Structure 1
Amino acid sequence: MLYSNGLKQGSGAFIRSHVSASTWTRRLHYDGRNRLSNIWTPTQSKKPAETSPEDGHDLLIRAGFMRQAHSGIFHLLPLGLRVQEKIERLIDKHMLSLGASKVSLSSLTSEGLWQRSGRLEKGRGSEFFRLEDRKGTKLLLSPTHEEEITTIVANAVHSHKQLPLRLYQVSRKYRDEARPRQGLLRGREFVMKDLYTFDSTEQSARATYETVRQAYSAFLNELRLPYLVATADSGKMGGNLSHEYHFASQAGEDTVIKCNKCDYSVNEEMYAGLAQSSPELESPEDKNWTFMVSKDHRTLLIMSCERGRDINVHAVKSVFPDVDTSVEDPVEVWKAEHPDAVDQGTDPRMMWLASASAYADWCHLDMSTGEPLDHPDYLVTGAEIKQGLAIINALQGVGLFPVEDFAITQLGNLDLTKARNEDRCPNCSSGHLTLHKAVEIGHTFHLGTRYSEPLDLRVTDASNTQKLVHMGCHGIGVSRLIGAAASLLADQKGLNWPVAIAPYTVVLVAAGKTRVDDVGSVYDTLQRSGSLDAVIDDRTDYPTGWKLHDADLIGYPFIVVLGKAWAERGAVELQCRRLGVKEEARVEDLAVRVAEMSARL
């Protein structure tokens, strides 16, 4: 094959791109080997004045993996794209194990489908990127594809004999996040894997769900990064069974609660704890008071707990779903909505959510000041509330009331407060809880008929009766996984990629007077092992020290240096920063040593 300048393809054929006939710039070397001289890696040196610590997002930019285009929108550069492609190949492998077929759905979707499913304005309308074509057709940039895939299958699948069906894609998604943050961890454009499953019965759909969970575990095990699995709230997706998959990280926005004795593991949103024993609290000052208001602003919720603990908003919602948690000053909003009622002691109403673990006796509030007020004639005692949580509902008015003016509803052994480390486990009672900050990187949902019913996805069963199809939706955040993995292993020197998704497993660096051909021969030896992904740093414009610092910044799992030992004994130096290893190795042993160290990472 001849290139445009007449050179033949082959080892040693250099092509120089130039700005002008007299100014030479980059050298491109085409010999079938991975060479950094051929790959655009726009790394940036950290300025001496920049003393603040860098997080994974900062390092991804400085190491040349990506650049920011707009708030929450990023461009992947060659190294970043290579990481993404490796993740996608792993996903393909494990989706194939499920018998799933890969599809590619359009990034544009019809508003009409979302209206049919009931999701167009149901709590997420502001997240849509909306547009119209020249004919006035209303479209969305797809934030997810349940509506589209359900419609496709509904038009093509009509018999239970065509099920089960498993379809997946890796595609871009769009959500107009109000506060994009932490780079790839919460963006407005991102890449996700979605697996959609279709079964003829509830029983088979749940069996499929468990099979998918096993595939997710196998996928995450290949990454060799510590992860958590937690029972989760299905939220806006629908359905009544879901699990989240997390990397434990201080950069995470989620909290996973785990027991040290049993398999209890839940997202904080699903936590419903046992009432914890605590000392009797004798005065209002011993309590932490929290106020919330209902969505119609007619009911004020008053809660108290032991000072030092916090009210669990999710527990409150479990007993009073109508609470509006977006209001910053609930008492003032409640008063402002009904000023006359406050003065006259009539409607609206107040509701106390009382936890027996928080106090011995009940005290009320002076609503003119909003301050706790001891009033010995009007107390509901801890003994009356017994163990757990009670709703004490003021039947009318807002003043101080005798006990007989309240309706007390027992809610069992439910705790109103957030979990803390060492709290008793609500599942086994004998274990203690540990809280982990975490980044969600995957989610599995059993959807049931949430989408098949409004979008009319039905099949005929063995008796020729039309039945709704049972669905599942299972996601992996590819972009988020890149950002989370970068943050998880980064140190003061740079990124530190797990072997499975590193842009390259090994970088070869020549030091001193080592010949280029020698580096090529070591590269070829590694490649013949069949399992290593190596690259040669053959950039001639940089000294060895700079190359080694650049290799640390990029985060290759292994660095191989051909230096003094090579010149004297034909041996190389093998470095692994995560293991703290620098050792001499023979070329013929190099692939084996890299494999052995990889097993320890």
Structure 2
Amino acid sequence: MRAIHRLSKILQPITIISKGSNNPHKDVTSKSQRLMLELGVIQQAHTGSFHFLPLGLRALDKLVKIVDEEMASIGGQKIMFPTLVKADLWTTSGRADAMGSELMTLKDRHNHKYILCPTHEETASHLLQSLAPISYKRFPLLIYQITSKYRDEMKPRFGLIRGREFVMKDLYSFDVDKLSAMETYEKVAGSYDRVFKRIGINFVKVLGTSGTMGGDLSHEYHYRAAIGDDKIFVCHNCDFSANVDLMKTEKCPKCDEGKNVSIQSSIEVGHTFLLGDKYSKPLNAKYLSHNAKPQLLQMGSYGLGLSRILAASVEVLSLEQEMRWPDSLAPFNVVVVPPKAGSREEATVGPLAERLYASLEREVPELKQNVLLDDRTNLTVGRRFLDARRVGYRFVIVLNKLSSEDPPQFEMNDLARNSQMVLQENQIIKYIKENINT
């Protein structure tokens, strides 16, 4: 039996804010956090940590699917490292002291110290070291995971944008020499470009800082946003851009332009590092060369903050009181709103809403499992339409008195274009096919 996504069955605790009532989220300083909380996409568990409710998890799953497809296209193999890692590995690499209080640590009953990892360079290197030296013929090797990470933020803020627990995709590459490591770096960076293009929000790729991660080369991916903690230097005369921490001059180092440049606030959503042997050397991660001698591996590290990308997308696109999503990540792309129970329209249109639902899923490939029926027919059409606008479903289709005509007509709302049309079923299908993801 075909499953229908019914809004009445979805756990979505919407905060109703009436005139004179107290808004529990009034002090939230980013619109993405406030809207995601008010509209039941996430729920705060404790400071810096959040529950992903059904709509939030649907959006995250869509992002994971995009990332998995692009990682597979470059030969990435998906694995899962333990989150709890012995602190000895980080002491060996030198990062335990470098990161200091940002690391979340604990001790077991035997007084052994562990780290709740924010990233897994040491773990990946230790894995390679623990295996018998692998032949040079097996490289490059690209392994990645998508898991929760932890960082003891002093001041967690902006919801999923800067929390103590976050979902990250981290990939680690191993190569036999610097030249092949650079080729792998460019290949992975190209896959990141495709990920962000598929998401559909304008991004900026800049020369980045290596920080405590170390290495010889680094690039960052940013979304421009007023609340962003990062500052990026952008030259509008050429294609150069960089984290401002790298800049010692107000002029572009590439074209020497000094006037047509700007400093912009942004949110970092991805980072790539060419690490060399920074981790493979202290952790003794080697391969077996063509002359049967063990040699140090060259390494790269590549991160995408998936939970941060979700929140940053909402931050960039949303209105103050209405959430907006890129089509690629929206929990649902279409919501169908049937008439109110007991109304004259309900009596005349019958099961038309469910038939339209089925037709949309059948005729538009992108809408498979992406249509929602707002069956809360005890509420007015106006109230349900307002909820759909606030949650940010791209296409809102309302059944009204015109839907009882032959052939039926529907009120079609495209929130991305702020337009409303009256269309027949075949016209709706054609319109969505032409406009989704644009």
The answer to whether the 8 A contact 1:516-1:538 is kept is: no
The answer to whether the 8 A contact 1:57-1:483 is kept is: yes
Answering whether residue 256 of structure 2 is matched by residue 429 of structure 1, we say yes
- Distance in 2 between residues matched to 1:54 and 1:494, nearest whole Å: 13
- Distance in 1 between residues matched to 2:430 and 2:112, nearest whole Å: 60
- Distance in 1 between residues matched to 2:257 and 2:35, nearest whole Å: 43
Answering whether residue 366 of structure 2 is matched by residue 531 of structure 1, we say yes
- Distance in 2 between residues matched to 1:557 and 1:150, nearest whole Å: 44
1:397 corresponding residue in structure 2? none
Answering whether residue 345 of structure 2 is matched by residue 507 of structure 1, we say no
Q: CA deviation at 1:599?
A: 4.4
Higher-Rg structure is 1
Aligned residues: 421
1:576 corresponding residue in structure 2? 414
The answer to whether the 8 A contact 1:525-1:588 is kept is: no
The answer to whether the 8 A contact 2:200-2:437 is kept is: no
1:135 corresponding residue in structure 2? 110
- Residues 174-573 of structure 1 aligned to structure 2 (within 5 Å): 174-273=150-249, 419=250, 424-430=251-257, 432-511=260-339, 513-514=345-346, 515=349, 517-529=351-363, 530-532=365-367, 533-568=370-405, 569-573=407-411
Q: CA deviation at 1:521?
A: 0.4
SS at match of 1:61: helix
1:36 corresponding residue in structure 2? 7
- Distance in 1 between residues matched to 2:309 and 2:429, nearest whole Å: 28
Deviations 1:465-512 (A, max 9, x none): 321101111000011111101111111341111100000010111135
> Match of 2:117, as an amino acid?
S
SS at match of 1:204: helix
- Residues 54-93 of structure 1 aligned to structure 2 (within 5 Å): 55-93=31-69
> Match of 1:450, as an amino acid?
K
Task: Specify whether residues 477 and 147 from structure 1 end up closer, same or farther in structure 2 by C-alpha distance, changes over 3 A only.
Answer: same
Scaled by the length of structure 2, the TM-score of the pair is 0.93
Match of 2:124 among 146, 149, 155: 149
1:305 corresponding residue in structure 2? none
Task: Specify whether residues 435 and 564 from structure 1 end up closer, same or farther in structure 2 by C-alpha distance, changes over 3 A only.
Answer: farther
- Distance in 2 between residues matched to 1:73 and 1:91, nearest whole Å: 23
SS at match of 2:96: coil
> Match of 2:254, as an amino acid?
N
The answer to whether the 8 A contact 1:272-1:426 is kept is: no
Deviations 1:50-105 (A, max 9, x none): 79797111000001011111111111111111111111111101001111110111
Q: CA deviation at 1:519?
A: 0.7
Match of 2:134 among 149, 158, 162: 158
The answer to whether the 8 A contact 1:173-1:192 is kept is: yes
- Distance in 1 between residues matched to 2:91 and 2:273, nearest whole Å: 21
Deviations 1:534-591 (A, max 9, x none): 1111113321111111111111111111112212340112111221111122212322
Q: Which runs of 5+ in 2 are unaligned?
A: none
The answer to whether the 8 A contact 2:30-2:315 is kept is: no
- Distance in 2 between residues matched to 1:487 and 1:558, nearest whole Å: 20
SS at match of 1:243: strand
- Distance in 2 between residues matched to 1:204 and 1:159, nearest whole Å: 15
Q: Which runs of 5+ in 1 are unaligned?
A: 1-9, 11-30, 274-418
- Distance in 2 between residues matched to 1:215 and 1:54, nearest whole Å: 30
The answer to whether the 8 A contact 2:31-2:320 is kept is: no
Task: Specify whether residues 430 and 175 from structure 1 end up closer, same or farther in structure 2 by C-alpha distance, changes over 3 A only.
Answer: closer
Deviations 1:290-336 (A, max 9, x none): xxxxxxxxxxxxxxxxxxxxxxxxxxxxxxxxxxxxxxxxxxxxxxx
The answer to whether the 8 A contact 2:338-2:377 is kept is: no
SS at match of 1:501: coil
Scaled by the length of structure 1, the TM-score of the pair is 0.68
Task: Specify whether residues 573 and 137 from structure 1 end up closer, same or farther in structure 2 by C-alpha distance, changes over 3 A only.
Answer: same
1:384 corresponding residue in structure 2? none
Structure number having the greater helix percentage: 2
Q: CA deviation at 1:516?
A: 5.7
- Distance in 2 between residues matched to 1:580 and 1:143, nearest whole Å: 41
The answer to whether the 8 A contact 1:510-1:516 is kept is: no
- Distance in 1 between residues matched to 2:9 and 2:195, nearest whole Å: 31
- Alpha carbon RMSD of aligned pairs, Å? 1.7
SS at match of 1:531: helix
SS at match of 1:215: helix
- Distance in 1 between residues matched to 2:253 and 2:244, nearest whole Å: 13
SS at match of 1:499: coil
Deviations 1:421-466 (A, max 9, x none): xxx4232024621222110000011111010000001112112232
The percent identity for this pair of structures is 35
The answer to whether the 8 A contact 2:151-2:165 is kept is: yes
Q: CA deviation at 1:41?
A: 1.4
Q: CA deviation at 1:125?
A: 1.7
- Distance in 2 between residues matched to 1:54 and 1:461, nearest whole Å: 52
- Distance in 2 between residues matched to 1:591 and 1:550, nearest whole Å: 23
Q: CA deviation at 1:34?
A: 1.2
Answering whether residue 428 of structure 2 is matched by residue 590 of structure 1, we say yes
Q: CA deviation at 1:595?
A: 2.5
> Match of 1:271, as an amino acid?
M
1:338 corresponding residue in structure 2? none
The answer to whether the 8 A contact 2:339-2:377 is kept is: no
Deviations 1:381-427 (A, max 9, x none): xxxxxxxxxxxxxxxxxxxxxxxxxxxxxxxxxxxxxx4xxxx4232
> Match of 2:229, as an amino acid?
E
- Distance in 2 between residues matched to 1:589 and 1:196, nearest whole Å: 47
Q: CA deviation at 1:194?
A: 0.3
Deviations 1:223-247 (A, max 9, x none): 1101101001111101010100011
